[in-house]
Structure 1
Amino acid sequence: MENKGPIGQFMLEHYKHFNAAALVDAAKGYEKHLAEGKKMMITLAGAMSTAELGKSLAEIIRQDKVQIISCTGANLEEDLMNLVAHSHYERVPHYRDLTPKEEWDLLERGLNRVTDTCIPEEEAFRRLQKHIFEIWKDAEAKGERYFPHEFMYKLLNSGVLQQYYEIDPKNSWMLAAAEKNLPIIVPGWEDSTMGNIFASYCLKGELKASTMKSGIEYMTFLADWYTDNAGTDGIGFFQIGGGIAGDFPICVVPMLYQDMERTDTPFWSYFCQISDSTTSYGSYSGAVPNEKITWGKLDIHTPKFIVESDATIVAPLLFAYLLGW
């Protein structure tokens, strides 16, 4: 157990069976993948940023243990919201007992609930809105177009948010990503608070939809990135949760292989999913990894892992293992 800190040693000693053993196997597989010089994609679904995954993910980024991220628009923006408004968040541990009237009271106080955590609308959404609008407007005036994550990088790199920082900046995964200019794929960005706000400006005639690069452009960007970085061995795919954050990017391989007819395209060369989705309902998010073989995403020999557990518990443990904590 050399090179492992207390958390890693605890996992190796006690996580011997079932989902615990699957977690250790996945962590060892991830470590082996990187040791062989291959690259890794991490995908983020669910409310991982609001769950403060940045406390471990930011260091994964800084130590080059991930080379590209795919995430929902919510995860993209909610890391920034936590960065600038953390002290205004409210935790509601008894959320299961809230009545409709109590939920309405939260709304009237400007608190939007995500399970046990309430995001403050004024301090989080609106604090970002006035600054990001200026960046959107400036790009449009210059005839420039960018991806959603590139606009967020511009916002972070401008320094205008530093006056609001309420957490240690080292715990923001978006700040770590911006410092490295890490490529990020954000499929379905329109389904986010900032996406809704951008659409409202388009409806008011203050912005053009074309100023924001589209999902199709994200796919073509990813196709080029995969081609340039996969070599002959492929890229690893570490999926947290399900949904579009994972479903969208994993399709780049069959698209290149089948639709572009680039038959030398390597399959994803490592696959792990942390999921609580149930297979029997026809859910793609709950599908066992072998189903992806039939879609031309994974090879027969791709190392495959599935940890059926709560990602807010499991992902920080696996990252701690990789970081030697």
Structure 2
Amino acid sequence: MKGKGEISKFIEKYFLHFNAATLVDAAKAYESQLANGGKMLVSLAGAMSTAELGKIFAEMIRQDKIHIISCTGANLEEDIMNLVAHSHYKRVPNYRDLTPQQEWELLEKGLNRVTDTCIPEEEAFRRLQKHIFKIWKDAEEAEERYFPHEFMYKLLLSGVLEEYYEIDIKDSWMYAAAQANLPMVVPGWEDSTMGNIFASYVMKGELKASTMKSGIEYMTFLADWYTENSEKGIGFFQIGGGIAGDFPICVVPMLYQDLERTDTPFWNYFCQISDSTTSYGSYSGAVPNEKITWGKLDIDTPKFVIESDATIVAPLVFGYLLDM
């Protein structure tokens, strides 16, 4: 345990069986992946940004332990919303007991609930809207097109949000990613608040849909990135399920089967943190071996499923990797 901190030592001493042991095995295999010169994709589903994963995820980015991210549009924007409106968030510890009337009252107050946390519409969504619209519009007038995350990087690096910062900037994973110009794919970005807002401007004739690069362009970008970076292998660390995981993992069979690049290597590490059970065709609940049949993972790919709450597990795995 040379060089490891107290959290890592605690995990190794007490996390010995079942999901706890899988957590340790997955963390050690992730560590080996990096030590061998391989790269790692992390996919981010669920409301992990609102869960403030950025407090440790940003440091993972700064220490070059993540090389590309696939995330939902919600995670893309909600990290920045937390950055500029944190003091206006409202925690609802008794969220399980709320009546429909109480939920309606939250709506009337402009508080959009995510489990036990309410995001303030005016201070979060609308505060970003006026600034991001200008960046969208400026790009369109210059006849330039960018990906959703690239527009967010421009927003953060422009400095226009600095007057609103309500948390330490080092705790924003999006700011860390923007500084590093970290590669990213954001599949299904349209299914997010900023995606909805962009669509509304298109419908009003104030923006062109083509100003925003598309999901197909994200896939072709990812295909090129995978090809260029796969010499020593690329791992896949999946938080949750859904499109954030399914979209990027499909790049391998697309390259191998559809483009007929038969020298394309499989993902050479796979770990998923999930609370989904294996049933009824759920992608989130599919065991890793199913992915072998789809040409995503190899027989010998190290495979791990940690069946637990990602808000508990992800910080522990990252803490181990950061020698905390």
| TM-score over 0.5 for the pair | yes
> Secondary structure of 2:51's partner?
coil
CA-to-partner distance for each residue in 1:81-115, whole Å, 9 max, x for gaps? 00000000000000001011100100000000000
Q: TM-score, normalised by structure 2?
A: 0.99
Matches within 5 A, 1:113-124: 113-124=113-124
CA shift, 1:234, in A, is 2.5
- Name the residue aligned to 2:291: 292
CA distance in 2, matches of 1:258, 1:216: 17
Partner of 1:203: 203
In the aligned structure 2, how far is the partner of 1:235 from the partner of 1:284? 21
Question: Identity rate of aligned residues, in percent?
Answer: 81
Question: Partners of 1:27 and 1:162 in 2: how far apart?
Answer: 35
TM-score normalized by the length of structure 1: 0.99
> What is the RMSD of the two structures over their aligned residues, measured on CA atoms?
0.5
- 1:236 deviation in Å? 0.4
User: What SS class does the counterpart of residue 281 from structure 1 fall into?
Assistant: coil
State the alpha-carbon separation in 2 of the partners of residues 105 and 246 from structure 1: 35
Aligned residue identity for 2:165 = Y
Partner secondary structure for residue 41 of structure 2: strand
Matched, 1:2 2:18: no
Q: Which residue of 1 aligns with 2:86?
A: 86
Corresponding residue for residue 184 of structure 1: 184
Amino acid across the alignment from 1:252:
V
Report the residue type matching 1:31 in the other structure: E
Q: Which residue of 1 aligns with 2:313?
A: 314
Structure 2: distance between partners of 1:151 and 1:284 = 30
Distance 2:34 2:230 in 1: 13
Which residue number corresponds to residue 13 of structure 2?
13
TM-fit CA distance, 1:258:
0.3
Deviations 1:133-192 (A, max 9, x none): 000000000110000000000000100000000000000000000000001100000000
Counterpart of 1:239, as a letter, is Q
Rounded to whole Å, the distance in 2 between the matches of 1:281 and 1:92 is 32
Q: How many pairs were matched up? A: 324
Q: Which amino acid aligns with 2:273?
A: I
Mapping of 1:18-167 within 5 angstroms? 18-167=18-167
CA distance in 1, matches of 2:279, 2:122: 41
Q: Tell me the distance in 1 between the aligned counterparts of 2:187 and 2:223.
A: 14
In structure 2, what is the Cα distance between the partners aligned to 1:184 and 1:77?
13
Cα offset, 1:281, TM superposition: 2.1
The separation in 1 between residues aligned to 2:283 and 2:52, in whole angstroms, is 26
